[in-house]
Amino acid sequence: MSKITRIETDPRRSRAVVYNGMVFVGGMTADDRSQDIEGQTRQTLAKIEGYLAQAGTDKSRLLTAQIWIKDLERDFEGMNTVWNGWTAPDAAPTRATAQCEMGAPDVLVEIIVTAALPETPIPAGA
């Protein structure tokens, strides 16, 4: 049976879970919610990248992403501009994007990703 590793767990959730060669990063949002969609997307992706590194992988090994945007009509293009600049070349994951009512009124974007672990773990900070 494969070991389950939980990263930054509290009574309600884990920020990331590693199981059976995969990393599941829970819904991430920006810390500075005064930013526009591009700023919030950058912050959110930076957090995701940090959790992937803690788990021993990186964005080049993304398998799938789910993106929720508060106002799809207004913010889809801005989010995509940042997303397209962030994803690793030739390693775009499957993706779904939807408009949704957020848990807090100042959250513009929330992102969940799943990634594969490499055969040989990537050292943190690499």
Give tens-digit pLDDT for 57-86.
Answer: 999 999 999 999 999 999 999 999 999 999
- Residue 120 confidence (pLDDT): 66
Q: Are 93 and 66 in contact (CB under 8 A)?
A: no
pLDDT, mean over the chain: 94
- Residue 125 confidence (pLDDT): 59
| Residue 69: other Cβ atoms inside 10 A | 25
The fraction of the chain above a pLDDT of 70, given in percent, is 94
- 4-113: CATH topology: 60s Ribosomal Protein L30; Chain: A; (3.30.1330)
pTM over 0.85: yes
- Residue 105 confidence (pLDDT): 95
